[in-house]
């Protein structure tokens, strides 16, 4: 099931449309730093780990303030990109879910599927157990029963309802605040 989502072009289009909706919400607002209007300042990315997609998938939607002296960037949350990581967010999540309970054969197949080295995949797994559990998002979450950090991200994905596609979208929406945009706004508001 999860392997199929990595290669599913319609799923990638669903995520792109979700990112357009998130970007439109930000664009309708104003600069969180000074209140100025926001202008488009999208930029190219070179994401790894997925199938060849049309060029619009490789663009990070973003805006910048129109006021001289401010011109600060305001990047909306994303379901496609997880912060500055070079791999697609779906790849990052699915590979670490599949990595749980690995066998050498499973690791080899994951490496072939997305082109990530064993060290990279191990680093992603360590992120869930260390950096993620220290994040504002995790500290503010109250899962009952609690989720053990050693079971992340699979046990977190299981908390969402629906088929694999819906659960993955729900998890990516849950992670939105870690994708860059919300962090900037929170800093501007002094939180």
Provide mean pLDDT across the span 72-99: 91
Residue 179 neighbours by CB under 8 Å, 6+ apart: 77, 78, 79, 81, 82, 83, 89
Average pLDDT, the chain: 87
pLDDT for 118: 83
Provide φ and ψ at 87, rounded to 5°: -95, 150
Q: What is the pTM of this model?
A: 0.88
Q: pLDDT for 146-164, tens place per residue?
A: 999 888 999 999 999 999 9
The sign of the dihedral angle between the CA atoms of 7, 120, 74, 70 is: negative
Q: Note the pLDDT of residue 100.
A: 67
For 63-191, where are the E strands, in sequence order? 63-65, 73-74
The answer to whether 89 and 4 have CB atoms below 8 angstroms apart is no
Q: Is pLDDT at 114 greater than 80 in this prediction?
A: yes
Question: What pLDDT, in 10s, does the model give residues 5-39?
Answer: 887 889 999 999 999 999 999 999 999 899 999 99
Average pLDDT over residues 165-177: 94
């Amino acid at each position: 099931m999860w392997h199929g989502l990595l290669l599913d072009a319609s799923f990638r289009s669903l995520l792109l449309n979700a990112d357009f909706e998130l970007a439109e919400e930000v664009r309708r607002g104003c600069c969180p730093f000074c209140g100025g209007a926001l202008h488009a300042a999208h930029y190219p990315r070179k994401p790894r780990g997925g199938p060849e997609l049309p060029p619009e998938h490789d663009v990070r939607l973003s805006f910048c303030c129109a006021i001289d002296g401010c011109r600060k960037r305001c990047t909306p949350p994303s379901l496609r990109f997880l912060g500055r990581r070079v791999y697609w967010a779906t790849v990052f999540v699915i590979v670490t879910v599949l990595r749980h309970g690995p066998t050498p054969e499973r690791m080899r197949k994951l490496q072939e599927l997305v082109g990530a080295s064993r060290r990279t995949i191990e680093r992603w797994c360590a992120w869930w157990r260390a950096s993620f559990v220290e994040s504002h998002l995790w500290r503010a979450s109250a899962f009952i029963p609690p989720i053990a950090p050693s079971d992340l991200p699979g046990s977190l994905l299981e908390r969402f309802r629906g088929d694999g596609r819906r659960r993955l979208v729900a998890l990516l929406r849950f992670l939105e605040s870690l994708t860059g945009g919300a962090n900037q706004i929170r800093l501007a508001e002094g939180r």
